[in-house]
Amino acid sequence: MHPAALAGKDPYRNGAESTLSHGNVARWSPAPASPGGELFSGYALDHAYDEMFAAPGQPRPHCQALVEDLLAASVSQLRQHQTEADRAFLTQGITFTVYGDEAGTERIFPYDLLPRIITAAEWSTIERGLAQRLTAINLFLRDIYHDGRILAEGVVPRELVYSCRHYRREMRGVCVHRDIYVSIAGTDLVRLDDGRFVVLEDNLRVPSGVSYMLANRDVMKRVFPGLFARYHVSPIADYGQALLATLRTLAPPNRSDPTVVVLTPGVGNSAYFEHAFLAREMGVPLVEGRDLLTHDNIVYMRTTSGLRRVDVIYRRVDDDFLDPLAFRPDSRLGVAGLLNAYRAGNVSLGNAIGTGVADDKAIYAYVPDIIRFYLSEEPMLSNVETYLMHKPADRQYVLERLDQMVVKAVGESGGYGMLIGPHSTAVQRAAFRDKILAEPRNFIAQPTLTFSRAACFTGESIEPRHVDLRPYVLYGDRVRLVPGGLTRVALRKGSLVVNSSQGGGSKDTWVLQD
Amino acid sequence: MLLSRVADALYWIARYLERAEHSARLIEVGLDLGLGRAGTRGTADRLYASLGMSDAPEPADRGPLVAAALFDLANRSSVAACVTAARENGRQVREEISSDMFEQLNALFLAVRQIHSTADREARPASLCRTVISGIHLFQGITDATLGHAEGWQYLQAGRFIERAGVTAALLDRFVSEGATQADGRLESVDWVALLQSCSALEAYCRYYTADVRPERVTEFLLLSADFPRSVRFAAARIESALQALAHASGRDGAGRPERLIGRLHASLDYGQVDEILSDDPHVYLAGISRQCALIHAAVYQSYIAYPIESAIPA
């Protein structure tokens, strides 16, 4: 909080409303469970960590200014802001495509008006923790595709790696430039009831959502300019430059001015907007598989001025579809011969092929050990306690209390292939029990977590909703995080699912400067 | 530098819209002819035939024919099919065109779809034709005003005017050569008026030649006018400047196959005489223009878009 700002001019508040000032917060003493005010009348704290209030009616210090501003606002003002924000998303075409609709319906990703605020100290932990994690994961990938030291020493079971659906034996012995396998990661964090951030899952293949992080900030600046005057929010607008710089460091050695492209599956992909957005932010071509070809193990793109060599491909196409000669032969999204060009070291990919083995949810359970093994350090960010269904003891423990557990398929993402025990029916649990017994390697289980809740505007009032946090990590010449991330919100009351396909939305995420 | 796929999409956006506009205008004139009793029966048929609707039934049964020319997505020159194809191309290069352009293209597509789905669509084909024509004019205005006139814009120009030269020559051919050999004698002036209307040329013609409508003057106007924007010569001039600009943008000397082909066509129109063309074999001449347009299209593709890889591999 910046007390000086309280006295200064604040364009967001008009004269009449500024009578509701600092002192009111202390005076106002609502019912114990609800922090108060007209807007906050339905705000009930429970045992989950609340991002805004330390105790009923008592905002956390860094949320003080935000709460004051909200107390000065009315429902109709907030509604007006919400309409303004929604319109901004729609007219800018910030949408995702809904599959299975012939008209190609595009929807906006629901946006919650209120920022989620992270302090500098909290961010510093996240930043160091994720840098440590990504460094270790890259060493792990280098190791399993070469010497397999960690497997020989039995730290990670060999069969777990080789049975992983995303393990690519084509990558055995392939030299990846600078040994950077994962250069772009989006790791999902949640905050537990004790206030600690823990890692829920790593996304090491083609993490998406960064365009929403940037768009949310743009819209927030437009809708709540006054609030920025009261906080020192770290800027994130240089993400495009940081991404480009990262991709350029991946370029094959002797290519002094590398050509970088973004490879998209095409306009039918649900994240097409993001692909076009990132290409534009970086000022590089957005290509499809059919724009590229290989000759003598060199990748070219077909332009009106002839063929032009491509050095780095930021590919938003999954491994399976990258090269019909090497992987799925029916893929028309990839480039024939790309794998050979890659193995020859003539083109770089961000991320490398075969990184999915490290975000397999069973391997996830070993990441703390992986960190200790390669770095001889204790992990700064913990994992969520995870039970591996191929271990008989774990399996028995979980099957006895399925109604309290969250079960996940190891290779899935996006909230698919999950059982949320407390919200499940007996029939669903029976179906998952059969699936687990049929293919134990394919499942893991975690206790149902109560992750933190942040204040959201529901259209009527302000209420807490469960949130997670996905910071975006880049690894080029060094690991760097743009100070921010995508806070995803389970907009349905009580829901724990934050995925956009299942009723999730997002918030602007502020990392404060010291 | 432009990706070949992007150039291809831009080129086809313009070509499809030009085709949709042409079809819409023909249908509009055909409907008009059906209302009055004027003209030889053949003219409306001739207009529909040039849209690929060959076995025209009796005038009374034209409803389904008009509906097919407007809405049949299986008929590639129907208005709805062309607008849909243009919008689909636009969607794929959305980041390359201005957002105003895409919004207009999308609005046009939605308008066609909406009229198509309303119950009384067969009763109001004329209003759809107007909607489409003015929607395309708006798109062209937005394009010229909001997109940089660089390489991408030149592909739009090339597509638009190659299509225009081709369809105008083909339509003229139906009137000039087939009309002259018809068993029931020569066309009446009202037929030539319909032809002028089909090219939005009646007012411009009258201003130039007065309302005295004669076949050789109509031919001269639609073929050789230097200033009328729907004449073949005007289109050839625009194609030539677009192709020169494309050659320049991709670092060529401007004497490649596309530039030579269009240069020859443009010169023949610049220096051609209408009496010579008519006294010779006008069908050969007009069909030759359509053929040359096809060759120019192929040459552009060979040079910039679908060139053989062997020719482009760096040594």
Are residues A280 and A335 both part of a single domain? yes
Residue A81, domain member (yes or no): no
Å from A306 to nearest chain B CA?
6
Q: Which residue of B has its CA nearest to A305?
A: B250
Residue B312, domain member (yes or no): no
- For B3, the closest of A104, A266, A302 (CB atoms) is A302
Residue B315, domain member (yes or no): no
Are residues B236 and B297 both part of a single domain? yes
Cβ neighbours of A279 in B, within 8 Å:
95
Number of domains, chain B: 2
| Residues of chain A above pLDDT 90, percent | 67
Are B95 and A280 within 8 A, CB to CB? yes
Are residues B2 and B64 both part of a single domain? yes
Q: What secondary structure does DSSP assign to B161-229, as a single string?
A: HHHHHHHHHHHHHIIIIIHHT-TT-SPPHHHHHHHHHHTT-HHHHHHHH-S---HHHHHHHHHH-SS-T
Q: What is the pLDDT of residue B36?
A: 58
Q: Indicate the average pLDDT of chain B.
A: 87
- A22 pLDDT higher than 60: no
Are residues B132 and B223 both part of a single domain? no
Do B231 and B202 contact (CB within 8 A), yes or no? no
Residue B212, domain member (yes or no): yes
The interface residues of chain A toward chain B in range 297-326, judged by CB-CB distance below 8 A, are 301-309
Q: What is the pLDDT of residue A263?
A: 97
Å from A215 to nearest chain B CA?
16
Are residues B93 and B49 both part of a single domain? yes
Residue A49, domain member (yes or no): no
Say how far apart CA A405 and CA A403 lie, in whole Å. 6
Say how far apart CA A446 and CA A449 lie, in whole Å. 8
Are residues A404 and A342 both part of a single domain? no
Are residues B158 and B199 both part of a single domain? yes
Q: Does B1 touch chain A (CB under 8 A)?
A: yes
Helix (H) or strand (E) holding B233: helix B232-249
CATH number of the domain residue A396 falls in: 3.30.1490.270
Q: Does B313 touch chain A (CB under 8 A)?
A: yes
Q: How many C-alpha atoms does B182 have within 13 Å on its Cβ side?
A: 16
Which residues are CB-contacts of A293 (< 8 A; sequence separation ≥ 6)?
Answer: A299, A300, A302, A307, A335, A336, A337, B309
Residue A117, domain member (yes or no): no
Cβ neighbours of B249 in A, within 8 Å:
304-305
Q: What secondary structure does DSSP assign to A473-489, as a single string?
A: EEESSSEEE-S--BEEE
Q: Does B11 touch chain A (CB under 8 A)?
A: no
Q: Does B99 touch chain A (CB under 8 A)?
A: yes
Euclidean distance between the first and final Cα of chain A, in Å? 10
Burial class of residue B7 (count of CB atoms within 10 Å of its CB; 0-12, 13-18, 19+): buried
Residue A304, domain member (yes or no): yes
The interface residues of chain A toward chain B in range 227-256, judged by CB-CB distance below 8 A, are none
Residue B311, domain member (yes or no): no
Are A295 and B1 within 8 A, CB to CB? no
Domain boundary among B147, B169, B184: B147
- A38 pLDDT higher than 80: no
Cβ neighbours of B309 in A, within 8 Å:
293, 295, 307
Are residues B70 and B172 both part of a single domain? no
Reading the block at residue B45, the tokens are 């048929």
Cβ neighbours of B153 in A, within 8 Å:
none
Are residues B138 and B219 both part of a single domain? no
Cβ neighbours of B246 in A, within 8 Å:
304
Say how far apart CA A270 and CA A98 lie, in whole Å. 7
For range A363-377, the mean pLDDT: 96
Are residues B45 and B184 both part of a single domain? no
A:B CB pairs within 8 Å: 58
- B284 pLDDT higher than 90: yes
> Residue B113 — very low, low, confident or very high, per pLDDT cuts 50/70/90?
confident
Cβ neighbours of A286 in B, within 8 Å:
95
Are residues B143 and B154 both part of a single domain? no
Are residues B91 and B223 both part of a single domain? no
Domain boundary among B112, B147, B182: B147
Å from B275 to nearest chain A CA?
41
Q: What's the domain range around B187?
A: 149-306
Which residues are CB-contacts of A31 (< 8 A; sequence separation ≥ 6)?
Answer: A56
Residue B314, domain member (yes or no): no
Are A309 and B314 within 8 A, CB to CB? yes
Are residues A260 and A336 both part of a single domain? yes
Are A266 and B1 within 8 A, CB to CB? no
Give the ipTM: 0.82
Q: What's the domain range around A436?
A: 385-447
Q: What is the pLDDT of residue A60?
A: 95
Number of domains, chain A: 2
- A85 pLDDT higher than 50: yes
Å from B22 to nearest chain A CA?
26
Q: Does A107 touch chain B (CB under 8 A)?
A: no
pLDDT, tens digit, for every residue of A102-138?
Answer: 444 567 788 999 999 999 999 999 999 999 999 999 9
Q: Does B314 touch chain A (CB under 8 A)?
A: yes
Are residues B200 and B139 both part of a single domain? no
Cβ neighbours of A266 in B, within 8 Å:
92
Lowest mean pLDDT among A478-487, B57-66, B147-156, B281-290: B57-66
Cβ neighbours of B3 in A, within 8 Å:
285, 287, 291, 301-304
Q: Which residue of B has its CA nearest to A261?
A: B3
- Specify the 3-state DSSP secondary structure of A160: helix
Q: What is the pLDDT of residue A106?
A: 62
Helix (H) or strand (E) holding A115: strand A111-118
- A418 pLDDT higher than 80: yes
- For B4, the closest of A276, A280, A302 (CB atoms) is A302
Residue A189, domain member (yes or no): no
Are residues B128 and B155 both part of a single domain? no
CATH number of the domain residue A285 falls in: 3.40.50.11290
Phi-psi region of A283 (alpha: psi -120 to 50; beta: other; left: phi over 0): left
Do A181 and A134 contact (CB within 8 A), yes or no? no
Domain boundary among B118, B147, B176: B147
- Please identify which residue in the block is written with the tokens 């193995």: A343
> Residue A415 — very low, low, confident or very high, per pLDDT cuts 50/70/90?
low
